[in-house]
């Protein structure tokens, strides 16, 4: 400890050389701490830049996911939407025929996963879905054929069809939050999803309107997965 001539009993005397060495060590320690703090600050700034850049990229990716809306001769709308991103839900508003990034939307796509604005997906929306048990789009003319519209749940099992069974099926994919009704919109074969052509009825987020929906494709012209083509049309209840 330092020598203090006013209190020699409390601060034992040490040699001058040892005192200089001790001061040198203390100075080095202070400098090193300053460098560590500077490195931490630099890392923190880099992390903030990364998070902000990633946020901007995510926001940009959410825009213009609706590729096209085409009115077909039978009166239904054929919509193509880019749902290829693993982390972004492409939400669609039937009434406005546009992608929606706010609370007003009816149906959402995240690759093969389909959700409605209801239940575990949204505490605000009053949407839901029903399986009409039909595969003929034109045969469904009234939503009253459905007595119940199921809301989204948080434990929807991935549809792996009959090609994978047992323990393999259990590990194929984790349960997800989405529509339990529309989980079987496709037939699965190893490496390929083919629409089952089932016709569903989706209730709007405000519960006032009803739309029949049929998934028609999962790949774009280049063969890239996650590009959903679906037919839809408003029907009375």
pLDDT digits (tens, 9 = 90+) for 17-40: 555 566 666 665 665 665 555 555
Q: Which of 14, 35, 61 is the last residue of a domain?
A: 61
Asked if pLDDT for residue 126 goes beyond 90, the answer is: yes
Q: Which among 95, 94, 96, 98 has a CA at the least distance from the CA of 66?
A: 98
User: How many domains does the chain contain in total?
Assistant: 2
> Is residue 52 located within the same domain as residue 71?
no
Extract the tokens encoding 11: 């601060």
52 and 70 together in one domain: no
Whether residue 46 is found in the same domain as residue 120 = no
Distance CA 77, CA 71 (A): 5
Residues 109 and 2 in one domain: no
For residue 76, count other CB atoms closer than 10 A to its CB. Answer: 20
Dist CA 77 CA 96 (whole Å)? 12
Q: Which pLDDT belongs to residue 219?
A: 97
Answer yes or no: is pLDDT of 237 > 80. yes
On whether both 150 and 89 belong to a single domain, the answer is yes
Closest of 124, 103, 106, 120 to residue 213, by C-alpha: 106
- Which range marks the domain in which residue 56 is found? 1-61
Tell me, yes or no, whether 25 and 72 share the same domain.
no
Query: Torsion angle, CA of 70/130/112/171, rounded to 10 degrees?
Result: -170
Q: What's the rounded mean pLDDT across residues 140-147?
A: 96
Last residue of a domain, one of 39, 61, 83: 61
Mean pLDDT of 179-183: 97
Is pLDDT at 16 greater than 70 in this prediction? no
Task: Tell which phi-psi region holds residue 20, choosing left (phi > 0), alpha (psi between -120 and 50) or beta.
Answer: alpha
Same domain, 121 and 227: yes
């Amino acid at each position: 400890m330092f020598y203090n001539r006013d209190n020699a009993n409390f601060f034992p005397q040490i040699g001058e050389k040892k005192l200089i060495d001790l001061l040198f060590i203390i100075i080095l320690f202070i400098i090193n701490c300053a460098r560590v703090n500077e490195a931490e600050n630099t890392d923190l700034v880099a992390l903030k830049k990364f998070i902000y850049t990633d946020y901007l990229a995510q926001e940009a990716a959410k825009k213009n996911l609706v590729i096209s809306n085409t009115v077909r001769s039978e009166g239904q709308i054929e919509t193509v939407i880019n749902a290829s991103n693993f982390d972004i839900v492409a939400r669609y508003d039937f009434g406005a025929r546009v992608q929606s990034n706010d609370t007003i939307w009816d149906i959402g796509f995240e690759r093969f996963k389909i959700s409605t604005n209801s239940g575990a997906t949204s505490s605000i929306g009053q949407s839901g879905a029903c399986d009409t048990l039909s595969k003929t789009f034109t045969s469904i003319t009234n939503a009253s054929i459905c007595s119940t519209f199921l809301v989204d749940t948080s434990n929807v099992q991935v549809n792996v069809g009959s090609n994978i069974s047992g323990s393999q099926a259990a590990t194929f994919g984790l349960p997800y939050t989405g529509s339990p009704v529309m989980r079987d919109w496709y037939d699965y074969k190893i490496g390929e999803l083919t629409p089952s052509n089932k016709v569903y009825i989706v209730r709007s987020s405000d519960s006032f309107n009803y739309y029949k929906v049929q998934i028609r494709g999962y790949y774009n012209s280049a063969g890239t997965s996650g590009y959903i083509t679906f037919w839809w049309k408003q029907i009375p209840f």
